[in-house]
Every structure is written in structure tokens, then in C-alpha cells.
Structure 1
Amino acid sequence: MLWTLAGALHAGFSALCVALVAAFLLLVCTPVLHQPVRSRLRPLALQEVEQGLSWVLAAQRWQTPLLTSLFMHSSHSVSVTFYASFLPMLFWLGLPELGRDLVLLMTLSLFVGNAIKDLVCSPRPLGLAYGRQRLKFLAADSSDEEVQLNAKEYGLPSSHTLNSLCLNYFAVWYFYDRGLIASGTALALYGLVALWVVWIAASRLYLGLHTPVDILAGALAGLAVLVCFIAVEGLLSRWILHGPAAVLHAALASLVLLRLHPRPMAHTPSFEFTTSFMGAMFGVVAGMALTPQAHQPGVQLAQLWSGAGSRLAGSRLLWALRRLGVGFAAVAVMKEGSKPLLLALLPLLYRFFPLPIRRLWQPPVHNLAAAPPAAAAKQHSAQQVQEEQQAKQRQPRNARQHADGDSANDEALLDRHNGGRQHGMRTRRSAAAAAAAAADQAGGSKQAGQAAAATSGLPGALPPQDLRLAELPHDAQGRPWDVVVTARFFSYAAIGVAVAGVAPRLLDALGW
């Protein structure tokens, strides 16, 4: 009776998690709902962030160089560098099914986390004043570019908490589910994973990157994603084995999710991180379709490392090093060769598409390029100038509409990177945030793109390289965002193909 009840509760909880994740993905794919949801959730998040600042201040009272170093280095376990090193090794050292599942899981985890960040737009506590004390970003002097980029994202939820929970708990569940570890070992590992997730969460408070509400949201989102993924893992395995059909489905899913990703109020690197992992996922699916024989049976580690067979004759360490050397060499060639080629060819390819069509495929980003020179601006048609003026006139109205749902706390938290003079949480909304809100209110229409283009970009940014495309949003190097995003997606897809397709073929040809 108890076992039946426990099974029913587990099934009900799994169904609830699947429903929650599916509902969120549906919300993300419905841009008309983004602004109303943000106007309701954001004031609540801002209030919780303000109340949680005392926790950050309390954590930073324990500041020591040793503790800062420990927290900084442990946070690298949730980074692109770590994933790019760890996940490929699973494919090449006898656990291709686990590697594949973790790539799919982390893609879903990163998308959900980053989409929530850019939907709610809840700021981090960096540089904010609490009473007479200013909260510190203890990694501000770090030379790690990825750490600095992560600090530019919005705060809720904590991606480190979410991703640590998903990756580590799923790995333990996988080994136990496949019978590679005993139940007692699995229980001990689950306990260690819980301690590790708590350590990672504490590091985010200590470093000044998150408040308790961010960590709680990350833990809840991570639990929902993890349980949902475990519930559908068998379906995903069968889907992957469909070969070319799975590649087409992965391409369509990536296109829809990236195109309809929520537009944040100000530019953050979250969408670029999502694009990278989405591209890697697509590449892994494509690579496995090219070499299905290299990924069956799902668990090869027991056979490869059992000592039986000629493949492990000699040193096991030498065997592993040879496979890793070939694999990472293939990845390096694909990575270094694909991105420059894509950045050179894609602008030529996109010239075949007229501007009205290119406007339809504009990623949810903001214009970062400097305004074009006055002489070049005069070449714009009268219709374009009129449309830009209309977009500017809408900005104050839309900004006021957006501000109706926000409190004075909202104004302070939006200027987290400016660090303006403030007591408690009061300051003014920046002009860039108002323009971004107008673009967000306008949605994905032509006026939205022009409203975003009307905003001057980052300090030191370059003007558009092709002035005929000035109305499209550009990055800080003056390149159209649609070109940059497409190049990023397919360059990481090339890495995925190298990991799951090219490297296994090379290893099979070499007999390693």
C-alpha cells in the first residue's frame, strides 16, 4: 500500500513538473504575454531583492582572501569552459549516452534560466547601497571574462544554483538507473551533491551576485527542469535514434525558441549564452545522426574499462589520453575554422534577403552600435525618418506604461551598473532602459526594431559596417545581430558535430 501511494505521488509530482516546464515554454513562445507577465512579476521580485540585501551584506562580513578564492574557483564548475571540457570527455571515454543526455538537459536548463532572467529583469545587488554601506562585487577585479559577462546578466533565477542542481543530480541518477552504482552509493552521492549545491548557492551570496530570492528561484526551477527531463528522458532517447528526423526537429525547435526568447529591458549576454548551448545541442544531435553506431550501446564504460578485450591492452591512462587528444584536436579545428568562415559567408548570404524579411528574423537583442554619421543618416528615405520619429514619440508613453507597475525600488535596481548616488534604493531610470522598454512594448514589429536602432549603443561602439542596414540592430562591432547570432549558433553546432560525429569516426578509424 505504501509503495503504491509513493509511486502515485512520484508520478503526480513528475506530471506537475512536466506541465510547469511545458507551460513556461509556451509562455516564452507567446511574445504578447511577455510584457503583462513582467509587469506583474517584476515588482514582486524587486521587493524580494531589496529585502534580501541584508543577507548579502551579512555574507560579505565573512570576507577573507582564501574564502573569496575558494568561492571564485568553485563557481567555475558552472561555466562554458567547464562544460566544453567535461561534456565531450563523456562521449569519448565510454559514456556517450550520458554525454548526450547532459547536453540536452543543460540546454533546457540554460534556456529556462536565461528566459526567466530576461522575462522578469530582476537586477543583481551589485553596487547597490544598503543603508550607509555599498554592497561589493568581490569578483570585480577578476580577469576572467566569463565571470564579468555573467555579472552583466539579470539576477533571478541563480543560473549557478539551477545548473549545478540539474547536472550533478542527473549524473548520480543516471549511474544508479543504469545499475553502475549501488543504492547506498547513490544515496551518499545525493548527499554530497546537496552539499555542493548549497556551497555554490552560498558563493553567489558571498560574491554579491545574488539575493536569497534568486537562489530559491534557481533551486525551484532546477528541480522542475530536472524532474521533467527524467520523466521524458526515454522519449528523448528514442527521438535521437530517428536520425535525420531528429536533426530537423532540433533545428525547428532551436529556431522557434531563439526567435521568441523574451527581450530584456537592457542588453545582457544571456541570449548569447543560450544561443551557444542551443547550437551545441543541435550539433550533437546532428553528429549522432552521422555516427549512430558509435553511441550504442548507451553505456560502454563497463565494457571498455573491464580489462577484457584488446582495446585496453596496455595502459588505460594512455588509452584515455589518446582518445582525448584526438577528440579535442577535432573540436579545435572545427571551432577555429567555422566561426571566421561563417562571419565571412553569412553577410553575403543575407544580402539575398530583402530588409522586410530580415526584420522578421531579428533576435530579441538591443542595438549596441554607435549612431551612423550624419552624412550617412541623410541617405535614409523620408519614410524611414518618419517611422523613427514615431518610434521616439512612443518611447515616453511606453516607458510610463512600464513604470506604472514598478515602484521606486525598480528605478534604483535598474541602474545596477551605473552605481549612481543613492540612499537606500532611490535613483532615476536610465534613458537606455526607457528606450529598451519601448522596444519591448513594441514587440517584434518593424517599429520595435527601429526604436531599438534609434538608441545609441555602448560607449566606444562602432557604427554599422553597412549603412544600408542601419535600421537593423547591430552589435558593438557594427555587425548585424542576425548575422552574429546565426554565426554563433552554427559555430557551436560545428563543435557539437565534432564531439559526437567527427571524433568518434576518427577514433574508430584509428582503432582507438
Structure 2
Amino acid sequence: MDKEKDRPDAGLRSLDHYKIRLPRWRYLLREQLLPIVRWETPYVAWLQDTLRTPALDTYFAMTANLGTHTFFMIMLPILFWCGHTSVGRGMVHILASGVFFSGFIKDLLCLPRPLSPPLQRITMSGSAALEYGFPSTHSTNAVSVAIYSFHLLQQQDSQLNPHVNLCLRVLCYCYAFSIVVGRLYCGMHGFFDVIVGSALGAILAVAQCRWGEQFDEWLLAGDIQRVLFVILIILVLIRIHPEPADDCPCFDDSVSFAAVMIGCQYAVWHFARTSYAWSEPSKGTVPFDLARMGWSVAVLRILLGVLIIFAWRGVMKPTLLKILPPIFRIIETRGLTLPRRFFKPASEYGTIPRQENDDNVIPRARDIPHLLSSFRRRRAVSVGPQSEADAYETLAYRNKKRRDSLNAAGSPSPANEHSPEPSYFEPDVPEETYISNRTRKRSSSLEMFRAQMGEGVEGLSPAVVNSPPGGHTPTRQEVQEMDELQEKRIFSNIQTPRVRYDVEVVTKLIVYSGIAWLAIEGNPIVFQYAGLGVD
């Protein structure tokens, strides 16, 4: 694999980056959709500027954690351990499908997030900014969970107190609203992202409500061949997952949740055939009776189950990362590898070093205290490009403004317009800086927000289009040198994605399918032998 092709020097990062990297049909489709993202950006910035308060900053930054992969991976096993196997399977289906297909579309189209500035990105997680923006996975998950929950509440109308049912419905509305609107408020997505993401979530939820039970019955009534058929389809989808133009971590999350889906299908099918499972209210149900077990046993089995899952991840991941590279090197010599652009092949490394923050779904056990402490810290407010996609879009939009100014006879260059925003090279700006300027920002117009798009690199503006009389007009070579200097500075200040290795794909498949098996079958059997089952 040609490293220079994958990570070109700044001088080679042309404005035709996506035209070079993407197949023609994907590039043309991207070019049709990109103007929508650019057009809506000042409106999203105006909305954010109008609504910003410290309280809402905290609220939307905190509630965004309820739509993350980590939150769902922690909560899903608890559904199974508390006897809600049917609900757990439904949630796995919609969430795993949502993460996979939203990531699939992100890598297919490579559409950037709305530019910053004019937007200020409010977040408690740095990894999300490395992904493409379209569609919003948070919105997909939130809407799918809300609709599926409505469906479950509709089925429980006769069993729940009407007031309780109403409160739960309102809670679902608040959950979906907080996540979807929060993505706009926090400057992480535009209207286009959340609308399409929400539509995708609605489609997946309706499909689960309509055909989920029939699929479960079909799978559980058959032999192992049906399970293998479903697994084969999932593996094919992983294989055809589009190659992104930039180093985007969407594929990692897609593989993790696809592996969860694989483990879930096999575990429920096999567990339903053992004597440990109940057949009511659905086949493969984990035995659970709070009245007979008591709260202490219920809490202990959850703690034990979580401990086993973290132990599995802590042991299996480093073990596989040591065992698999030699095997992959042998396979590579036979020409049987299926390399991906941003994954280093086994022939190019000896051992895989320990890396921090190497998993966006389930952190290492040692990282949990740091993860919990992050909730006590104030959210970060960032301005400027944070990923390669952000940087390329910044340069592309600035070049577009330059061309537009050249085509507009007598109009001043947007490059010379003053931008009140801080420099791009201040990635994490203290929140107080923006709150103190709130009065001034309230009077901002859409035109000012448009002017801020692609701006912010002070002292390194592009070539002056209309030179004053007698002034020096930059030569083509001088313009190119300034452009290359801009690119170097922008790319040197973005968050660099970690190095990823080819064996990580298989590692994730094994680790996360194992986590699903433990959650549905392995841990419930352990509970029985540990005295934490139903007497």
C-alpha cells in the first residue's frame, strides 16, 4: 500500500481530493449533496447563536451521552439479564442496524460536518468529530429507540397504569427531542444530517415493529443453517462497506455492532435450546423474577455480568492482537488479504503497541475512572477544523469563495473580510470567551455567518483578488506557496486519527460477538451456578 497516496504531503492535498479518492458515481453524488450542507450552515449557526445559554450547553452536552455507542452497549445486556429478552433483541436489531447503515452512508458519501466557524462545537467526546456528518447516527439511534418504545408501550396499554404509560411516552418524546435538537445546538450536525438520520431511524424501527417477531420466530424455529445464513449476510455487508476518502472511524463502529448482531443471533438460537432458558414470555428468555430473587441478587448479577464482559474484552483483545498478525502475514503472502485503505497490513509492522482510546464502543476497565471523571468536567467548546474532512472542506469552501469573488466584477474578496472568530489554531477555546461576547453575537446576521465560513486563519489569507493601484499582485507561484502554507498549518492542528491495523477487524468481530454471547447465554448460565439465578 502506498503511504504517500493515503497520506499525501500538504502540497499534494489538492482541491480535487475527493474527486481523486472516490469513484466517479460517489463523487458526483457527493457534489450534488454538498451544497445543501453549505447552504444550511449559517442557519444552524444562527440557531445556535440565538439559543446559547450555559444551562443549555450543559444539558445538551450531557444528554448527547445517552445516544452514544458506549451507553447502549452498557444498557443492552441489562435488558437480557432482567428477563426482557424480546425487548433486548429488538433494541439490538435497531441500534446495530442504525450504527451500521448510518456509518455505511457516511463513508459512502463522505459529507463533512457543517463548518466551524461559524459553528462552535460543544461536546464531551472528541472521537465523534472525526467522523463524517451525514447522516447523524445519534439521531438515528434516538428516533429508532423512541419509536420502538412507543410500540412496546402500545402493547402494554392494558397492563400499565394510564398515568405511568403517559409519563413514559413523554419521556420518549423528551429523549428523542433532546438528542436530535442537541446535535444542532452543539454544532455537530446540520438540519440535513438530523432529518435523514431521523428518517433512517424511523424506517429501522418500523421494520422491527412490523417484522421483528416474525424474524425471531423464523430463526428460532430453524436449524443452525438459518443462523449461518444470517451471519453470512452480515459478513457480506461488512465486506462491501464503502472505503472512505479520509481516515474516518465509522467502519470501526460498524464492525463492532455488526459483531454484536452476529453474537446475538447465535446466542439466542442456542440458549433457547438449553435447559437454562425460559420459553415464556419468549423463547430464550433469561430467567428473572425480582419478587423471588430480591434487589440484592438482581444488582449482584448485573455487577458480575459487567465484570465478566470487561474481563473478556481485557483478555481477548490483547491476546488476539498478538496471535493474529503472524497469521495475517502468512495469508498476505498468499494474496488472500482484503485490505482497507487506512488499516496498516501485517507485513508493515512487527507488534501492535498499546494505544490509548483505541475503542469508541466499550472502553478498557482502567479507563472507566477517567470516563466517569469526564462527566464532572465542563464540556469543551471548539472552533475550527477537527478532522481531515473538516480541513478539506475548509480549504474547498475558501477556494469556492475566491472563485466567486473573481467572477463577481468589482466585488471585494471574501478572503479580505474581517472575521470576529478566533483563529483555527485554538482548538479548545474557553467557554467564557464566547459567553462574554454574547451580546455582540446576538446581533449577528446570516451574512456574517456566511462570511465566517472558511475563514479564521489570521495572517494567512489567500491571494488578494483586487489589488490596490500600484500594489503588488501575487504571482501564481506565490499564491500556491501561501495555499500550501495554509494547508500545512491547518492539517498540523487537527486531531490525528490513531494508527489502525488490519487484524483489528477480525479482533472486533471476535471480541464483540463474544460480548453478545456472554450477555445472552454465557453470563445467565454463570448466574445459575453462582447462586444468582431464580430458585
TM-score under structure 1 length normalisation: 0.65
Closer, same or farther in 2 for the Cα pair 1:245/1:51, shift >3 Å? same
Closer, same or farther in 2 for the Cα pair 1:86/1:243, shift >3 Å? farther
In the alignment, is residue 41 of structure 1 matched against residue 29 of structure 2?
Answer: yes
1:362 is matched with which residue: 306, 318, 339?
A: 339
Q: Which structure has the bigger radius of gyration?
A: 2
Q: Which residue is equivalent to 2:255?
A: 275
Q: Which residue is equivalent to 2:174?
A: 195
1:53 is matched with which residue: 41, 60, 63?
A: 41
The letter of the residue matching 1:58 is W
In the alignment, is residue 82 of structure 1 matched against residue 66 of structure 2?
Answer: no
The letter of the residue matching 1:55 is Y
The letter of the residue matching 1:123 is P
Matches of 2:399 and 2:516, distance apart in 1:
42
Deviates more, 1:65-74 or 1:239-248: 239-248
The letter of the residue matching 1:489 is L
Structure 1: segments with no counterpart, 5+ residues? 1-33, 129-133, 374-402, 428-457, 461-474
Matches of 1:228 and 1:101, distance apart in 2:
10
Matches of 2:247 and 2:400, distance apart in 1:
17
Matches of 2:453 and 2:187, distance apart in 1:
16
| Equivalence map 1:107-126=2 (5 Å) | 107-126=96-115
Q: Which residue is equivalent to 1:210?
A: 189
Matches of 2:216 and 2:79, distance apart in 1:
16
1:133-191 CA-to-partner distances (Å, cap 9, x unmatched) read x321122xx4xxxx211111111111111100112321331343366547886566444
Closer, same or farther in 2 for the Cα pair 1:229/1:195, shift >3 Å? same
In the alignment, is residue 486 of structure 1 matched against residue 506 of structure 2?
Answer: yes
Deviation, structure 1 residue 56: 2.4
The letter of the residue matching 1:358 is L
The letter of the residue matching 1:105 is I
Q: Which residue is equivalent to 2:518?
A: 498
The letter of the residue matching 1:53 is T
1:263 is matched with which residue: 230, 240, 243?
A: 243
Q: Which residue is equivalent to 1:291?
A: 271
Assess if the C-alpha contact under 8 Å between 1:157 and 1:217 holds in 2: yes
| Equivalence map 1:15-164=2 (5 Å) | 35=23, 37-61=25-49, 62-128=51-117, 134-139=118-123, 142=124, 147-164=125-142
Closer, same or farther in 2 for the Cα pair 1:175/1:234, shift >3 Å? same
Structure 1 consecutive aligned stretches of length 4 or more whose deviation exceeds 3 Å: 34-37, 178-192, 298-307, 354-359, 407-413, 422-427
Assess if the C-alpha contact under 8 Å between 1:47 and 1:409 holds in 2: no
Assess if the C-alpha contact under 8 Å between 1:124 and 1:155 holds in 2: yes
In the alignment, is residue 237 of structure 1 matched against residue 216 of structure 2?
Answer: yes
Q: Which residue is equivalent to 1:347?
A: 325
Assess if the C-alpha contact under 8 Å between 2:146 and 2:173 holds in 1: no
Q: Helix, strand or coil for the counterpart of 2:79?
A: helix
Closer, same or farther in 2 for the Cα pair 1:174/1:246, shift >3 Å? farther
| Equivalence map 1:148-187=2 (5 Å) | 148-177=126-155, 180-181=159-160
Deviation, structure 1 residue 235: 2.7
Assess if the C-alpha contact under 8 Å between 2:44 and 2:190 holds in 1: yes
Q: Which residue is equivalent to 1:28?
A: none
Assess if the C-alpha contact under 8 Å between 2:312 and 2:515 holds in 1: yes
Q: Helix, strand or coil for the counterpart of 2:242?
A: coil
Matches of 1:216 and 1:459, distance apart in 2:
33
Assess if the C-alpha contact under 8 Å between 1:93 and 1:323 holds in 2: no
The letter of the residue matching 2:335 is I
Assess if the C-alpha contact under 8 Å between 1:288 and 1:295 holds in 2: no
Q: Which residue is equivalent to 2:382?
A: none
Matches of 1:339 and 1:113, distance apart in 2:
26
The letter of the residue matching 1:67 is L
Closer, same or farther in 2 for the Cα pair 1:182/1:53, shift >3 Å? same
Matches of 2:396 and 2:52, distance apart in 1:
31
Deviation, structure 1 residue 325: 2.1
Q: Helix, strand or coil for the counterpart of 1:138?
A: strand
Coordinate RMSD, CA, aligned: 3.6
Closer, same or farther in 2 for the Cα pair 1:279/1:302, shift >3 Å? closer
The letter of the residue matching 2:324 is L
Assess if the C-alpha contact under 8 Å between 1:279 and 1:492 holds in 2: yes
| Equivalence map 1:316-331=2 (5 Å) | 316-331=294-309
Matches of 2:92 and 2:492, distance apart in 1:
36
Matches of 1:210 and 1:167, distance apart in 2:
20
Assess if the C-alpha contact under 8 Å between 1:326 and 1:506 holds in 2: no
The number of aligned residues is 377
Structure 2: segments with no counterpart, 5+ residues? 1-21, 350-391, 402-422, 426-449, 456-490
Deviation, structure 1 residue 213: 1.0
Closer, same or farther in 2 for the Cα pair 1:329/1:348, shift >3 Å? same
TM-score under structure 2 length normalisation: 0.63
Assess if the C-alpha contact under 8 Å between 1:78 and 1:164 holds in 2: yes
The letter of the residue matching 1:78 is G
1:167-218 CA-to-partner distances (Å, cap 9, x unmatched) read 2321331343366547886566444423322221221111111111111111
Q: Helix, strand or coil for the counterpart of 1:358?
A: coil
Deviation, structure 1 residue 77: 0.6
Assess if the C-alpha contact under 8 Å between 2:80 and 2:286 holds in 1: no
